[in-house]
Amino acid sequence: MHILTRIEKIFEKLDNLSNNRPMHLSRKKFVSLFVMGLIRSRSVQFPEIASQMPNQTKMEYNHIRI
């Protein structure tokens, strides 16, 4: 199973267990990309994480989002 699919399932379970409003989809996507960047870069340096986030956005824009 792909890691993003696993992360999405975790968010679904959190939404079901939460008494508050569910997390917005764009926030879920960003957190998923950020986690993937952390895993791929094996670093906590934001520029390195941004360069490893699996999306079509330029690295500079990912760094700004972080």
Query: Which of 38, 33, 39, 26 has the alpha carbon at shortest distance from 54?
Result: 33
Tell me, rounded to whole angstroms, the distance of Cα 37 from its chain centroid: 8
In this predicted structure, what is the pLDDT of residue 6?
Answer: 81
Residue 7 belongs to what domain range?
3-65
In this predicted structure, what is the pLDDT of residue 1?
Answer: 53
Domain count, the chain: 1
In this predicted structure, what is the pLDDT of residue 15?
Answer: 80
* Neighbouring C-beta atoms of residue 9, cutoff 10 Å: 11
Query: Which of 27, 36, 26 has the alpha carbon at shortest distance from 5?
Result: 36
- Summarised one tens digit per residue, pLDDT across range 15-64 is 887 777 777 788 888 888 888 888 889 888 888 888 888 787 787 787 88
Cβ–Cβ < 8 Å for 7, 35: yes
Mean predicted confidence (pLDDT) in 6-12: 81
